[in-house]
Amino acid sequence: MSDLSQALSVALDLVLTLDPQMLGIVRLSVQVSGLAVLLAGLIGLPLGAVLALSAFPGRGAVVVMLNAFMGLPPVVVGLGVYLLLSRAGPLGEAGLLFTPTAMVMAQTLLVLPIVAALARQVVADLWEEYGEQLRSLGVSGVGRLVTLLWDGRFSLLTAILAGFGRAAAEVGAVMIVGGNIKGVTRTMTTTIALETSKGDLPLAMGLGLILIALVTLVNAGVFLMGQWARRRMG
Amino acid sequence: MKRLLLAAMALFSLAVAPAGAEERFITLASTTSTEQSGLFGHLLPAFKAETGIEVRVVAVGTGQALKLGERGDADALLVHDRAGEDKFVAEGFGIDRRDVMYNDFVVVGPASDPAGIKGGKDAVAAFAKIAVAKAPFASRGDDSGTHRSELRLWKKAEVDVKAGGGWYRELGAGMGPTLNTAAGMNAYALADRGTWASFKNRQSLAILVEGDRALFNPYGSILVNPEKHKAVKVADAKAWHLWLTGPKGQAAIASFKIDGEQLFFGDAK
Amino acid sequence: MRAPDTILPLELDRVGFAAGERALLDNISLRLEAGVRTVILGPNGAGKSLLLRLCHGLLTPSAGSVRWSGAAEGEPVRRRQAMVFQRPVLLRRSAVANVRYVLALRGVPWRRRGPLAMEALERFGLAPLAPRPARVLSGGEQQRLALARAWAAGPDVLFLDEPTSALDPAAALSVEMAVQEFHASGTKIVMTTHDLGQARRLADEVVFLSHGRLVEHAPAAEFFKGPKSAQARAFLAGELVC
């Protein structure tokens, strides 16, 4: 219990004093995970919708794979991106290893299957309801995709949130491709891992509490927004 | 296709890069022990103030640090495994290896000391006692410099740790996590003094054996061979390399202390 | 706005529809002309909704053919039809935006969409509800909005599948009035209903189905006065027909 209360006081201390180093770390975490989710959404939402609305041979296999990839081990994704971006790797000349960009790339790959798989489910369910009407109106393929994604926007927010939660919480991928460089690629999770390995458990746990609070805050915000919008739009 | 991808990534990294990002930097692959002791927090600002070069430290095990150098993902290395370092240079991946400093390892263990090694000055004898007592021993098991040193000690003590028996536990973890685990299961462990000095979660662990020549832990600085990887920032890396092994770097190393105790001793020639 | 020519008549030639081994509609030949309100009647499970969907092209017949003034089903004829379902499917946006959606789909220039949408809403008494989210409207209002949306598309033919079965009498009446609006403007009406009173009020001709077969196709007055088949007589007498 004393460990936890100590962690709590460390967390409060960091927040209340607006520790500049901590602010930088929080900012980077939010920036990296936020951008990763944005990219994953831009790719994953249409991809999921296409999978829900089109029929092609092997579609079932793609869906199974997508669902399985929701649980991709972050370390493996990190390693894959590392091998790509390493100077000895195929994209080495871009010099992106150990940069926030590399971290965004790795997290995008982690989040993409979650967003796409959940989007596919949402759009497929909506199609059950809307299918006849949209076909009756003569809505074309792309039109269906856009219409269903827009009408599923409240449910899709949940998919996006799930993706954000995973990105913000993972440490394996960003550790490998970011290198946990102080002031450059050090995020909340890699800091927690570092402080744990230094045996400074209260500080590590304190940072963990801040991370949890942050993710909770984002979720609460989106939840309230969704509630309000749902009440308005039916 | 690849060119397009690279262009897209370049554009994208502009969007991600924090405003006013430092452009002049080198990447240094080093070990968790040096990073976690806090030494870099002491050295790097001094070096940057003098040269304007930022040093970005990627802290991993010595084995992985050498691998990063091999693939050209770092510009310079600061590691501690003489045999591995020499091999790295001999294979042409690195150039100009120089002695930088040394610290020492300590044998830590639970205060109850079931193997009865406390106060000894002979690390090899202590290791033999631990094996006879079959007392739990937490090994890094991660191919780091510390792990390699530990294995050399077992070899001198003529103990075959691969024989098993449950008392020898390979963790595959960095120094800190290994100490966390050792503290949790009252195991013995070999630790570098720097990490130990700044380690907070000791519980009942204490230093039991220290001061043996066999526990000497030398660090070397190596430049990654620019002939292997064109992208290596050879000039700035060399500036760091020379500074670290020069009088200013050596003085900075000597002035780094935790609780008044000097942890690293410069030995550059 | 409406093209002078029409896609009617609609001709079904020996149309059949089977689900697996089971024939749900069998050998239906039918010719539906412009200007006449057609009501499809029949007991539950007779295949009324199915027939409507085959006519509208939502389903493809497993036998026979559906032709519009000689042309096969396809995008050009589809765009000149509209359908109103038992439960309206409205988009999660405002009432007026639902109508604008169809106008955009029909290629109406952006500037003209606003006035046309408002005109359609006004025609069905929905103008005050224009900015309200479609999904929170009452059942009757939603069905009228579905009709306004169909109106905006300016179809040659309007299919209605039990459009009032989920509504209270007052709302049902407003939907019937809306159907009359379409008829008055020259749109061909084809609807199914299980409300015989409604059928008497709206029908010019009746298509009577039983067990997936076309039993009678007759002018409404004739059908209600003296149906020729035993099934239709039993149906009108309110008996349970199996």
pLDDT tens digit string along A51-87?
999 989 989 999 999 999 998 999 999 999 999 999 8
- For residue B104, the cross-strand partners are B216
Contacts of residue B4, defined as CB under 8 A and 6 or more positions apart, other chains included, come to none
- Whether chain C lies against chain B with 3 or more Cβ pairs closer than 8 A is no
CATH code matching the domain that covers A22-199, chosen among 3.40.50.720, 1.20.120.550, 3.20.20.60, 1.10.3720.10: 1.10.3720.10
List chains touching C (3+ CB pairs under 8 A): A
* Cβ count within 10 A of residue C76: 11
Contact status, residue B88 vs residue B94, Cβ threshold 8 Å: yes
> Cβ contacts (< 8 Å) between C75 and chain A: which residues?
138
At residue A85, the pLDDT reads: 92
Is A101–B17 a contact, with Cβ atoms under 8 angstroms apart?
yes
Q: Does C150 or A6 have the greater pLDDT score?
A: C150
pLDDT tens column, A157-199 = 988 999 999 999 999 999 999 999 888 899 999 999 988 888 8
- Interchain contact C92–A (C-beta under 8 A): yes
| Domain C10-86+159-236 in CATH 3.40.50.300 | yes
- Tell me which amino acid residue A149 is: L
* Cβ count within 10 A of residue B49: 8
CA distances for A87 relative to A97, B64, B81, B102, B230, angstroms:
8, 15, 24, 31, 9
pLDDT tens column, A38-53 = 999 999 999 999 999 9
Q: Which of B198, B150, B162 is nearest to B34 (CA)?
A: B198
Element housing C205 (H / E): strand C205-210
pLDDT band at B19 (very low <50, low <70, confident <90, very high): very low
Q: What is the mean pLDDT of residues C78-91?
A: 91
Contact status, residue C135 vs residue A233, Cβ threshold 8 Å: yes
Is A87–B231 a contact, with Cβ atoms under 8 angstroms apart?
yes
Q: Has residue C78 got a pLDDT over 90?
A: no
Residue ranges of alpha helices (H) inside chain C are: 48-56, 75-78, 95-105, 110-123, 139-153, 169-184, 196-202, 220-225, 230-236
Among A135, A143, A151, whose Cβ lies nearest the Cβ of C58? A135
Angle between helices C110-123 and C95-105 in degrees, nearest 10: 130
Cis link prior to A73 (omega < 30° from 0)? no
Burial class (CB in 10 A: 0-12, 13-18, 19+), B69: buried
CA distances for C210 relative to C46, C204, C214, angstroms:
5, 20, 7
* Cβ count within 10 A of residue B83: 10
Q: Has residue B20 got a pLDDT over 80?
A: no
CA distances for B101 relative to A115, B104, B191, B213, B249, angstroms:
50, 10, 17, 15, 10
- Tell me which amino acid residue C43 is: P
What are the residue boundaries of the structural domains of chain A, listed by start? 22-199
- For residue B138, the cross-strand partners are B169, B189
Contact status, residue C61 vs residue C118, Cβ threshold 8 Å: no
**Beta-carbon contacts below 8 Å between A and C:** 46
Q: Where in chain B is the domain with CATH 3.40.190.10?
A: 24-102+218-266, 104-215
Q: Which of A225, A202, A231 is nearest to A8 (CA)?
A: A202
Q: What is the mean pLDDT of residues C133-160?
A: 93
- Tell me which amino acid residue B265 is: F
Q: What is the mean pLDDT of residues A106-131?
A: 95
How does DSSP classify residue C93? S
pLDDT tens column, B239-260 = 999 999 999 999 999 999 988 8
Among A32, A94, A181, whose Cβ lies nearest the Cβ of B58? A181
pLDDT tens column, C185-223 = 999 999 999 889 999 999 999 999 999 999 999 999 999
Contact status, residue A96 vs residue A85, Cβ threshold 8 Å: yes
List chains touching B (3+ CB pairs under 8 A): A
Q: Which of B108, B142, B114, B147 is nearest to B129 (CA)?
A: B114
List chains touching A (3+ CB pairs under 8 A): B, C
- Interchain contact A234–C (C-beta under 8 A): yes
3-state DSSP percent of chain B in helix, strand and coil, to 5: 45, 25, 30
Distance from CA of B225 to the nearest CA of A (A): 13
Contact status, residue A159 vs residue A114, Cβ threshold 8 Å: yes
At residue A3, the pLDDT reads: 77
Q: Determine which of A209-223, B12-26, C28-42 has the lowest per-residue pLDDT on average.
A: B12-26
Is A233–C85 a contact, with Cβ atoms under 8 angstroms apart?
no
Q: How many Å apart are CA C200 and CA C176, to the nearest integer? A: 12
* Cβ count within 10 A of residue B53: 19
Supply the ipTM of this predicted assembly.
0.89
Element housing B265 (H / E): strand B265-266
Query: What is the CATH topology of the domain spanning B24-102+218-266?
Result: D-Maltodextrin-Binding Protein; domain 2 (3.40.190)
| β B168-170/B137-139 pair status | parallel
Among B5, B57, B183, whose Cβ lies nearest the Cβ of A182? B57
Q: Which residues of B make CB contacts under 8 Å with A? A: 2, 5-6, 9-10, 12-13, 15-18, 27, 32, 36, 40-41, 56-59, 70-73, 173-177, 179-180, 183, 195, 198-202, 229, 231
pLDDT band at B145 (very low <50, low <70, confident <90, very high): confident
- Whether chain A lies against chain C with 3 or more Cβ pairs closer than 8 A is yes
Q: Has residue B231 got a pLDDT over 50?
A: yes
CA distances for B154 relative to B175, B181, C21, angstroms:
18, 20, 78
Lookup: tokens for C68: 């519009």
At residue A234, the pLDDT reads: 66
CATH code matching the domain that covers B104-215, chosen among 3.40.50.300, 3.40.190.10, 3.40.50.720, 3.30.1370.160: 3.40.190.10
> Cβ contacts (< 8 Å) between C73 and chain A: which residues?
none
At residue C1, the pLDDT reads: 39
* Cβ count within 10 A of residue B221: 27
At residue C7, the pLDDT reads: 84
What are the residue boundaries of the structural domains of chain C, listed by start? 10-86+159-236
Q: How many Å apart are CA A124 and CA B220, to the nearest integer? A: 60
CA distances for B22 relative to B31, B54, B138, angstroms:
23, 8, 41
Lookup: tokens for B164: 């098993």
Query: Which backbone phi and psi does B171 adopt, to 5 degrees?
Result: -95, -25
Is C133–A130 a contact, with Cβ atoms under 8 angstroms apart?
no
